[in-house]
Structure 1
Amino acid sequence: MKSINPEDFKVVNKIELSKLPTNLDIGASDDKKEDKLEDVIDKLSDLQDTMYAHNRYGVLICLQGMDTSGKDSLIREVFKDFNSRGVVVHSFKTPNSTELEHDYLWRHYLALPEKGKFAVFNRTHYENVLVTRVHPEYILNENLPEIEDVSSITPVFWENRMDQIKNFEKHITQNGTIVLKFFLHMSKEEQRERLLRRLEEKKHNWKFSVGDLKERERWDDYMHYYEEAINKTSTSYAPWFVIPADDKEMCRYIVGKIIWEEMQKHTDIKMPEMDEKIEKNIELYKEMLTKE
């Protein structure tokens, strides 16, 4: 089985999504990949316990990808052994009326992880420079100054929004939030097969939406805007990772391994030491409890 190097998936130079693989063969069976993932899951679970006690960092995991790219199942598998108090998942859908009364980042600020915890964004603040670029009419719902119609939304508007997102991420990382962003890179053919399964397998019927087909027609537009957003916003403090996603088991393992490896860079995350006074009198306290 070939080893996985997280750096191979990190976006540090300009990328072209059409030239990046959507599948990765490392010479391992599904069972072997699941075993490797389980090892990583155990390590991440222990790490989260340590983080909770350390209480200095929060971790924000951002997942983006086309419909059926495997975001939900990845979250279910990678974070399944976490203490339930240590991870919160947020699925961002169309902004509601209250959210639209605030700026577009407001609801994302509210969902940031507390210190010692993980937050997973299933679709993220990047929807505001992805789906809104494919459907710019959605911007009109934000009731922004000087935006009267779609023609008012200029290229400068999108450049400013990218800068705002980078500033948002820089601000939260400087205040103790570790940000890791993953694009689940799936082929159009793999999406077709997964949509067909939703129609063919009764237990998955509920997942199918006619809207998925409409958005699929805009596949090339989405790939263009994903590529632009990733290139413009992958930074040293909030990097993007492009993950081959045609093989769900492989995708989960790569994401889990990257999270683990990236967290190892924060060498200050350790269990706090026992208070000196308590440690000095530990035998006394044990005796007091024993004699109760």
Structure 2
Amino acid sequence: MPQYPDPNLLVGSSTADDAGVYRLNDETSLVQTLDFFTPIVDDPYLFGRIAATNSLSDVYAMGGRPITAMAIAGMPDDLLSNEDIAEVFRGGADMVAEAQCSLVGGHTIKNPQPIYGLSVTGLVHTENFLANAHCKPGDTLILTKPLGTGIISTAVKRGICPDELQELAIQAMTTLNRSGATLADKKLVNGCTDITGFGFLGHLAEMMKGSNTSAEIDTNSVPALSPLVMKFIEEDCVPGGSKKNLLNIAPSVNFGDNISEAVKLLMADAQTSGGLLLSVPPENEAETLDILANSEALCVSIVGQVTNKQAHDIFCS
């Protein structure tokens, strides 16, 4: 798309990053993002919480802290009651408050299908912002939430998901990725992204392409939310988006002969409000792991390493 050349635009759309970063001065930059989607749960309050968490995550993935948010919604008022619509907004507002962010307004239209999300503005130190294109060879790759929310959502729709696993997925999707800001403040991380619709492999490939590097992934270290996730995959309980993700990313990945189709689909599973994928210099690994272990991170999994650019963006063994 046409771009106005501006030296203060530090991160734009060219590297498919999570948010834009705009320099105000040598110490402060704005982080700006926008995200919304259709319901993935039946409960309107939970839908609002999940959508808001997902939107806020993009600011944390850039190393920023959200300061203001505006709600964006489209609602079918002939299908949803005013009470249900209010619950969506209440869920989002509660999540924004949990992030210590100010909800300053928004805009709503009538729409045949419910959509809800946030436009979020954050702040980050100009020298400390994170980006998916800043990975360096030798960096350790660390994941902060297990995978499988797309698979679990499909299992819920089919009526085969235990309540306990559904609750675990909801907990994962409503956990803020605040550690991204802490790690950026301490200058411990080179590259970062959050894992959402393109799945672990898709977002990792964006990091590698933007950084002109490759990644070696130990698939045994890539965590699933539950062993049941793998069972669901083997029973073909997989959303169409996850299958399409795998099809699209396959040319960029060299899969070892021992990698099962189920593991490939787990790594391609379209996540909602997933965890951070961090690219950490070896000398900062111990401190990073310690901070994550004492944060809201649902897992602290070393999943691989960044290498010099090779024939494929990703090598899985």
TM-score bracket for this pair, using the shorter chain length? under 0.3
Alignment TM-score, normalising by the size of structure 1: 0.26
Alignment TM-score, normalising by the size of structure 2: 0.25
Q: Higher helix share goes to which structure?
A: 1
Q: Greater relative contact order: 1 or 2 (C-alpha under 8 angstroms, separation 6 or more)?
A: 1
Structure number, greater radius of gyration: 1
Q: Higher strand share goes to which structure?
A: 2
